[in-house]
Amino acid sequence: MNYMDQLNEASEFILKKLAEKNFSRPKTLVVLGSGLGPYADTFQDSLKLEFNSIPHYKSPSVSGHSGELVFTKIGNETVVFQKGRLHYYEGHTDHEINFPIRSLKLAGVENLLLTNASGSLNPNYAPGDLVCINDHINFCGRNPLHGKNIEIGPRFPDMTEIYFKPFREILSDIATQKNITLHHGTYFHVAGPSYETPAEIRMFRNLGGDMVGMSTVPEAIGAKHAGLNIAGIACITNFGAGLIDQKLDHEDVKHEANKAMEKFTTLVSAFIERLHA
Protein backbone atom coordinates (compact mmCIF):
# COMPACT_ATOMS: atom_id res chain seq x y z
CA MET A 1 0.00 0.00 0.00
CA ASN A 2 1.42 3.40 -0.87
CA TYR A 3 1.96 6.15 1.71
CA MET A 4 -1.05 8.24 0.64
CA ASP A 5 -3.36 5.21 0.90
CA GLN A 6 -1.94 4.48 4.37
CA LEU A 7 -2.67 8.07 5.43
CA ASN A 8 -6.24 7.80 4.15
CA GLU A 9 -6.77 4.50 5.96
CA ALA A 10 -5.50 5.96 9.26
CA SER A 11 -7.63 9.06 8.81
CA GLU A 12 -10.78 7.04 8.10
CA PHE A 13 -10.12 4.86 11.16
CA ILE A 14 -9.79 7.97 13.36
CA LEU A 15 -12.97 9.54 11.95
CA LYS A 16 -14.91 6.34 12.58
CA LYS A 17 -13.76 6.24 16.23
CA LEU A 18 -14.68 9.91 16.65
CA ALA A 19 -18.14 9.40 15.14
CA GLU A 20 -18.82 6.54 17.58
CA LYS A 21 -18.27 8.98 20.46
CA ASN A 22 -20.09 11.89 18.80
CA PHE A 23 -16.98 13.99 18.36
CA SER A 24 -16.83 16.31 15.35
CA ARG A 25 -13.81 16.34 13.01
CA PRO A 26 -10.72 17.68 14.80
CA LYS A 27 -9.82 21.29 13.95
CA THR A 28 -6.62 21.79 15.97
CA LEU A 29 -3.72 19.49 16.76
CA VAL A 30 -1.32 20.05 19.66
CA VAL A 31 1.89 18.03 19.70
CA LEU A 32 3.13 17.72 23.28
CA GLY A 33 6.91 17.54 23.69
CA SER A 34 9.16 15.90 26.30
CA GLY A 35 7.69 16.08 29.78
CA LEU A 36 4.59 18.03 28.59
CA GLY A 37 2.39 14.98 27.89
CA PRO A 38 0.58 14.92 31.27
CA TYR A 39 -1.41 17.99 30.16
CA ALA A 40 -3.47 15.72 27.89
CA ASP A 41 -4.56 13.64 30.90
CA THR A 42 -6.38 16.56 32.54
CA PHE A 43 -9.53 16.44 30.37
CA GLN A 44 -12.76 14.93 31.73
CA ASP A 45 -14.45 13.98 28.50
CA SER A 46 -11.91 12.59 26.06
CA LEU A 47 -11.32 9.82 23.56
CA LYS A 48 -7.91 8.18 23.68
CA LEU A 49 -6.36 6.22 20.82
CA GLU A 50 -3.01 4.53 21.37
CA PHE A 51 -0.65 4.85 18.41
CA ASN A 52 -0.39 1.07 18.22
CA SER A 53 -4.17 0.80 17.68
CA ILE A 54 -4.22 3.12 14.63
CA PRO A 55 -3.40 1.64 11.21
CA HIS A 56 0.17 2.44 10.05
CA TYR A 57 1.12 4.54 13.11
CA LYS A 58 4.57 3.79 14.52
CA SER A 59 5.14 3.97 18.29
CA PRO A 60 7.82 6.16 19.88
CA SER A 61 10.52 4.55 22.02
CA VAL A 62 11.74 7.44 24.18
CA SER A 63 10.85 7.83 27.83
CA GLY A 64 8.56 10.85 28.25
CA HIS A 65 6.80 10.13 24.93
CA SER A 66 3.99 7.60 25.29
CA GLY A 67 2.38 7.64 21.85
CA GLU A 68 -1.30 8.40 22.11
CA LEU A 69 -3.88 10.69 20.51
CA VAL A 70 -6.23 12.34 23.01
CA PHE A 71 -9.35 14.00 21.55
CA THR A 72 -11.42 16.45 23.59
CA LYS A 73 -13.77 19.39 23.03
CA ILE A 74 -12.48 22.91 23.64
CA GLY A 75 -14.77 25.79 22.74
CA ASN A 76 -16.93 24.70 19.84
CA GLU A 77 -14.45 22.30 18.27
CA THR A 78 -12.63 19.02 18.72
CA VAL A 79 -8.95 19.32 19.62
CA VAL A 80 -6.49 16.48 19.38
CA PHE A 81 -3.40 16.20 21.54
CA GLN A 82 -0.55 14.10 20.23
CA LYS A 83 1.11 12.74 23.35
CA GLY A 84 4.55 11.69 22.34
CA ARG A 85 6.22 12.10 18.98
CA LEU A 86 8.66 10.25 16.79
CA HIS A 87 12.25 11.45 16.38
CA TYR A 88 14.78 10.82 13.65
CA TYR A 89 17.37 9.71 16.25
CA GLU A 90 15.12 6.75 17.16
CA GLY A 91 15.60 5.50 13.61
CA HIS A 92 12.27 6.76 12.25
CA THR A 93 12.06 8.24 8.77
CA ASP A 94 10.72 11.74 8.22
CA HIS A 95 7.59 10.26 6.61
CA GLU A 96 7.00 8.19 9.76
CA ILE A 97 7.57 11.28 11.93
CA ASN A 98 5.00 13.22 9.89
CA PHE A 99 2.47 10.39 9.62
CA PRO A 100 0.27 11.49 12.57
CA ILE A 101 0.16 15.13 11.40
CA ARG A 102 -0.63 14.23 7.79
CA SER A 103 -3.32 11.70 8.72
CA LEU A 104 -4.93 14.24 11.04
CA LYS A 105 -4.79 16.89 8.32
CA LEU A 106 -6.80 14.48 6.16
CA ALA A 107 -9.21 14.06 9.11
CA GLY A 108 -9.87 17.82 9.17
CA VAL A 109 -7.07 19.49 11.17
CA GLU A 110 -6.26 23.05 10.06
CA ASN A 111 -4.23 24.40 12.99
CA LEU A 112 -1.11 22.92 14.56
CA LEU A 113 0.61 23.85 17.80
CA LEU A 114 4.04 22.24 18.14
CA THR A 115 5.62 22.19 21.59
CA ASN A 116 8.99 20.95 22.74
CA ALA A 117 11.66 20.93 25.40
CA SER A 118 14.69 22.98 24.29
CA GLY A 119 18.15 23.94 25.42
CA SER A 120 18.79 27.67 25.62
CA LEU A 121 21.39 29.37 23.42
CA ASN A 122 20.39 32.80 24.71
CA PRO A 123 21.71 33.92 28.11
CA ASN A 124 18.42 35.78 28.70
CA TYR A 125 16.25 32.66 28.22
CA ALA A 126 16.51 30.53 31.36
CA PRO A 127 15.26 27.05 32.32
CA GLY A 128 11.52 27.21 32.99
CA ASP A 129 10.98 30.01 30.42
CA LEU A 130 8.61 29.64 27.47
CA VAL A 131 9.59 30.85 24.01
CA CYS A 132 7.28 31.44 21.07
CA ILE A 133 9.02 30.00 18.00
CA ASN A 134 9.19 32.76 15.39
CA ASP A 135 11.36 30.94 12.88
CA HIS A 136 13.79 28.04 12.68
CA ILE A 137 17.12 26.92 11.28
CA ASN A 138 17.11 23.38 9.92
CA PHE A 139 20.62 22.11 10.78
CA CYS A 140 19.91 18.37 10.86
CA GLY A 141 21.43 17.75 7.45
CA ARG A 142 18.29 16.64 5.62
CA ASN A 143 14.95 17.93 4.41
CA PRO A 144 11.87 15.97 5.54
CA LEU A 145 10.25 16.43 2.10
CA HIS A 146 13.11 14.65 0.35
CA GLY A 147 11.98 12.08 -2.23
CA LYS A 148 8.86 11.77 -4.35
CA ASN A 149 6.44 14.57 -3.46
CA ILE A 150 3.61 13.51 -1.13
CA GLU A 151 0.49 14.72 -2.93
CA ILE A 152 -0.84 16.52 0.10
CA GLY A 153 1.06 19.69 -0.86
CA PRO A 154 3.33 21.30 -3.50
CA ARG A 155 6.82 20.17 -4.52
CA PHE A 156 8.45 23.45 -3.46
CA PRO A 157 6.51 24.84 -0.48
CA ASP A 158 7.16 28.39 0.70
CA MET A 159 8.72 28.69 4.18
CA THR A 160 8.75 32.49 4.50
CA GLU A 161 6.26 32.49 7.38
CA ILE A 162 6.35 28.94 8.61
CA TYR A 163 5.12 29.96 12.09
CA PHE A 164 1.86 31.79 11.34
CA LYS A 165 2.17 35.44 12.40
CA PRO A 166 -1.42 35.85 13.63
CA PHE A 167 -0.85 32.86 15.96
CA ARG A 168 2.36 34.41 17.32
CA GLU A 169 0.42 37.60 18.01
CA ILE A 170 -2.34 35.69 19.81
CA LEU A 171 0.26 33.93 21.98
CA SER A 172 1.92 37.26 22.89
CA ASP A 173 -1.43 38.79 23.64
CA ILE A 174 -2.47 35.95 25.96
CA ALA A 175 0.92 35.97 27.72
CA THR A 176 0.54 39.69 28.46
CA GLN A 177 -3.03 39.21 29.69
CA LYS A 178 -2.12 36.27 31.94
CA ASN A 179 1.14 37.76 33.17
CA ILE A 180 3.29 34.99 31.69
CA THR A 181 6.77 35.81 30.40
CA LEU A 182 6.88 34.66 26.78
CA HIS A 183 10.08 35.23 24.81
CA HIS A 184 10.32 35.03 21.04
CA GLY A 185 13.11 33.28 19.21
CA THR A 186 14.61 31.13 16.49
CA TYR A 187 14.68 27.35 17.06
CA PHE A 188 17.89 25.65 15.94
CA HIS A 189 17.24 22.05 14.93
CA VAL A 190 19.80 19.28 15.30
CA ALA A 191 19.31 15.54 14.73
CA GLY A 192 20.57 14.33 18.16
CA PRO A 193 20.56 12.11 20.14
CA SER A 194 23.83 13.30 21.70
CA TYR A 195 23.62 16.71 23.29
CA GLU A 196 25.89 19.39 21.83
CA THR A 197 29.47 20.27 22.68
CA PRO A 198 30.20 23.74 24.09
CA ALA A 199 31.85 24.67 20.77
CA GLU A 200 28.72 23.67 18.84
CA ILE A 201 26.54 25.68 21.21
CA ARG A 202 28.71 28.79 20.62
CA MET A 203 28.46 28.24 16.87
CA PHE A 204 24.66 27.78 16.92
CA ARG A 205 24.30 31.00 18.92
CA ASN A 206 26.52 32.84 16.43
CA LEU A 207 24.43 31.46 13.58
CA GLY A 208 21.30 33.06 15.02
CA GLY A 209 19.66 30.40 17.19
CA ASP A 210 17.97 31.16 20.52
CA MET A 211 17.13 27.59 21.50
CA VAL A 212 18.27 24.17 20.31
CA GLY A 213 16.42 20.89 20.07
CA MET A 214 15.95 17.54 18.36
CA SER A 215 12.32 17.81 17.17
CA THR A 216 9.68 20.19 15.79
CA VAL A 217 11.38 21.21 12.52
CA PRO A 218 10.66 18.02 10.52
CA GLU A 219 7.03 18.34 11.64
CA ALA A 220 6.82 22.08 10.97
CA ILE A 221 8.12 21.61 7.41
CA GLY A 222 5.80 18.63 6.85
CA ALA A 223 2.81 20.55 8.22
CA LYS A 224 3.54 23.72 6.23
CA HIS A 225 3.77 21.57 3.09
CA ALA A 226 0.33 20.18 4.00
CA GLY A 227 -1.08 23.72 4.33
CA LEU A 228 -1.54 23.89 8.10
CA ASN A 229 -1.35 27.09 10.15
CA ILE A 230 1.46 26.52 12.66
CA ALA A 231 2.43 27.87 16.06
CA GLY A 232 5.35 26.68 18.18
CA ILE A 233 6.20 26.94 21.87
CA ALA A 234 9.56 25.86 23.26
CA CYS A 235 9.91 25.15 26.95
CA ILE A 236 13.47 25.89 28.02
CA THR A 237 14.72 23.03 30.18
CA ASN A 238 18.45 23.79 30.37
CA PHE A 239 21.18 26.12 29.18
CA GLY A 240 23.05 24.74 26.16
CA ALA A 241 26.21 22.76 26.96
CA GLY A 242 29.01 24.88 28.37
CA LEU A 243 26.89 28.00 28.99
CA ILE A 244 26.87 27.10 32.67
CA ASP A 245 28.90 24.58 34.65
CA GLN A 246 26.44 21.65 34.48
CA LYS A 247 26.18 18.37 32.58
CA LEU A 248 23.03 17.52 30.57
CA ASP A 249 20.65 14.72 31.44
CA HIS A 250 17.27 13.72 29.89
CA GLU A 251 15.71 13.20 33.35
CA ASP A 252 16.50 16.84 34.26
CA VAL A 253 15.03 17.94 30.92
CA LYS A 254 11.71 16.20 31.66
CA HIS A 255 11.69 17.47 35.25
CA GLU A 256 12.17 21.12 34.14
CA ALA A 257 9.47 20.78 31.48
CA ASN A 258 7.08 19.48 34.15
CA LYS A 259 7.88 22.43 36.39
CA ALA A 260 6.84 24.84 33.63
CA MET A 261 3.59 22.89 33.16
CA GLU A 262 1.26 25.34 34.93
CA LYS A 263 2.05 28.38 32.79
CA PHE A 264 2.38 26.18 29.71
CA THR A 265 -1.13 24.80 30.32
CA THR A 266 -2.56 28.27 30.90
CA LEU A 267 -1.04 29.59 27.68
CA VAL A 268 -2.00 26.60 25.53
CA SER A 269 -5.59 26.36 26.85
CA ALA A 270 -6.21 30.07 26.31
CA PHE A 271 -4.68 29.85 22.82
CA ILE A 272 -6.98 27.00 21.77
CA GLU A 273 -10.03 28.70 23.30
CA ARG A 274 -9.21 31.83 21.29
CA LEU A 275 -8.94 29.82 18.06
CA HIS A 276 -12.23 28.08 18.72
CA ALA A 277 -14.25 31.01 20.09
Residue 237 lies near ligand HPA (rule: CB under 6 A)? yes
163 noted as active-site residue: no
92 noted as active-site residue: no
Burial of 91 (0-12, 13-18, 19+ CB in 10 A): exposed
277 noted as active-site residue: no
Residue 145 lies near ligand HPA (rule: CB under 6 A)? no
Binding mask 238-257 for ligand HPA (x = CB under 6 A): x-x-------x----x----
Minimum distance of ligand HPA from residue 214's CB (angstroms): 5
Residues 186-215 that bind ligand HPA (CB under 6 A): 195-196, 212-214
CB 88 within 8 A of CB 79: no
Task: Name the active-site residue from 9, 61, 161, 250.
Answer: 250
Task: Name the active-site residue from 87, 95, 183, 189.
Answer: 87
Angle at 105 between CA 270 and CA 262, to 5 degrees: 25
Q: Which residue stretch of 41-49, 67-75, 114-122, 179-187 sits at the interface with ligand HPA (rule: CB under 6 A)? A: 114-122
CB 131 within 8 A of CB 236: yes
- What one-character DSSP code corresponds to residue 3? H
Task: Name the active-site residue from 3, 39, 57, 65.
Answer: 65
Burial of 52 (0-12, 13-18, 19+ CB in 10 A): exposed
Minimum distance of ligand HPA from residue 7's CB (angstroms): 29
241 noted as active-site residue: no
Question: How big is the site for ligand HPA, counted in residues (CB under 6 A)?
Answer: 13
Residue 31 lies near ligand HPA (rule: CB under 6 A)? no
